[in-house]
Amino acid sequence: MEAQIKVKRFNPENGAKPFFQDYSIDVSEDSTILDGLIKIREEQDGTLALRCSCRASICGSCSMKVNGSAKLVCKTRIKEVSPQGETVTVEPMSNFPVIKDLVTEMDSFWSKVKSIDPYVKTNFEPEAEHIASNESMTHLLGVMNCIMCGACVSECTALEVDSTFTGPAALAKAYRFVADPRDEDKKERLGKLNESSGVWDCSRCLACVEVCPKDVAPMERIVKMRDLAIEEGYTNTSGFRHTESFSDSIKKHGRLDETRLALESTGLLNISGLIDLAVIGIKSLFKGKIPPPLPHKPKEADKVTNIAKRLDSEESEE
């Protein structure tokens, strides 16, 4: 079949701006986008640059944006994104500088991975293997599946506005150690992750979960680490207060008490934060949309409160 591929090109050596180039190639029904790109490079245009190696979604080389979202091109069939022969647009990943064409500079990615101390820390050398349950190891398999392809980073909405954010891949990697029963540095790790640019800066947008080709679900790991950090006693963050007061409000009233949430999250001592909220509050009042002073309760709110009580005690028993 004939495939139309539009590739974003960029060559730092000729001073020209990035531009799109159209290619038309003959491929088989089950060809992947990578097959297509390789064909272009080998038969039509030797100047096209891209990274690829395994062709089997395991080396992590070939993340690119396909029709706007990051994918492993070796794992994506042309037919899948272009059932009717529509043009497929391929661009380099976002949130990374471009070196040439589809090749991005991943230095910042690796330095973030390095920043989380990515190796198991133990204080002693056992005689034989560490004893660990198969369950705990199988659980880690979920994060160990990460092939460091960068797709999640390309999509991360928090990184887009703040390049210091540690980002989904490195944080998922951090979880691999935090949740490893052999690692003895858990508390220190969580302490560091609790600081700015760490777990609380994720905006929970789910973009990383959506694009990860290996089902690593970075956001879920991040959220889990927030909880673990709280368990370890790291509670002096507005993130913590936000979560606490939100949960409390639901447990007590069944629905959300926005006023209280705002005040408690900002921290009662954060004067400028409070003034800030006050400004919006007054404006809202003026427009007739200030939240009512009492939390809205659903009918029979006690039922909700009961469930919350039961499940809360269940959790603390665990």
Partner 1 sequence: MSKHDLLIIGAGLAGLRAAVEGVRQGLNVAVITKVHPVRSHSNAAQGGINAALTDRGDDWEDHALATIKGSDYLADQDAVEVMCREAGEAIIELENMGVIFSRDEEGKLGTRAFGGQKKARTYFVGAITGSALLHVLYEQSVKYNLHIYEEWFVTKLIKQDGKIAGAIAFDIKTGQMELITAKAVVLATGGAGRVFEPSTNALICTGDGLSLAMQVGAPLMDTEMIQYHPTTLAGNGILLSEAARGDGAYLINSEGDRFMEKYAPDYMELASRDVVSRAEQTEIDEGRGVDGCVYLDLRHLGKKFIEERLGYLQEVALEFRGIDLSESPIPIKPGMHYIMGGIKTDLNGATNIPGLYAAGECANVSVHGANRLGANSLLDTIVFGRRAAVDSVEYIKSAGSLNVDERELSKEKSRIQNILDRPKGMRSAELRNKMGTAMTKGIGVWRDKDSITEAITKMKNLRGQLPNVFIENKGKVFNTDLVSYLELEFMVDVAESICHGADKRLESRGAHFRTDMKSRNDSDWLKHTLVQFAGEELNTTTSDVTITDWQPTERVY
Partner 2 sequence: MKFAFYPGCVARGAAPELYKSTMLVVDKLGIELEEIEKAACTGAGVLQEKNQKLGDVLNIRTLALAEQMGLSIMTICSTCQGVISQANHRVVKDPEYLAEINKELEKEGLHYSGKTEVKHLLWILLEDIGIKSLQDMFNIDLSSFNFAPFYGCYLIRPSDALGITENPKRKHSLDIVIESTGASATDYAGKTRCCGFPILLINQKNSLKMVAKHTGDAKDEGADAMVTPCPLCHLNLDGYQAKARRQNNRGKADLPILHLPQLIGMAMGLDAKELGINKHLVSTANFIKSIKTKVS
**Per-residue binder mask for partner 1 (CB under 8 A), 115-144, x = binder:** ---xxx-x--xx-xxxxxxx--xx-xx--x
Q: How far is the CB of 260 from partner 1 (least distance, A)?
A: 43
Q: How far is the CB of 74 from partner 1 (least distance, A)?
A: 9
| Position among 21, 47, 164, 247 found at the interface with partner 1 (CB under 8 A) | 47
What is the DSSP-derived secondary structure letter of residue 32? B
User: In angstroms, what is the minimal distance from the CB of 7 to partner 1?
Assistant: 14
Locate tokens 């777990």: which residue? 199
Based on the shown chain and the rule CB under 8 A, indicate whether residue 114 belongs to the binding site for partner 2: no
Residue type at 212 in one-letter notation: C
**Residue 153: CB minimum distance to partner 2, A:** 14
The least distance separating ligand SF4 from the CB of residue 317, rounded to whole angstroms, comes to 27
202 binds ligand SF4 (CB under 6 A): yes
Report 55-94 residues binding ligand FES (CB under 6 A): 55, 57-62, 72, 74
- Pairing outcome for strands 88-91 and 98-100: unpaired
**What are residue 96's phi and psi, to 5 degrees?**
-135, 145
Helices (H), the chain: 33-39, 78-81, 107-115, 134-144, 151-155, 157-161, 168-178, 186-193, 207-211, 218-231, 238-253, 258-266, 271-286, 301-317
Which residues pair with residue 98 across a beta bridge?
104
206: contact with partner 2 by CB under 8 A:
yes
The pair of three-digit structure tokens given for residue 85, joined into one six-digit string: 């022969």
Using the rule CB under 6 A, is 54 a contact of ligand FES?
yes
| Contact of 18 with 9, CB cutoff 8 Å | yes
DSSP secondary structure letter of residue 61: -
Q: If binding is defined by CB under 8 A, does position 160 make contact with partner 2?
A: yes
Determine the interface stretch with partner 1 among 100-108, 160-168, 221-229, 273-281 (rule: CB under 8 A): 100-108
Question: Cα 271 vs. chain centroid, distance in angstroms?
Answer: 32
Q: Which one of 76, 95, 166, 265 is in contact with partner 2 (CB under 8 A)?
A: 265
Nearer to ligand FES, 21 or 53 (CB): 53
Q: Can you give the binding site for ligand FES, defined by CB under 6 A?
A: 52-55, 57-62, 72, 74
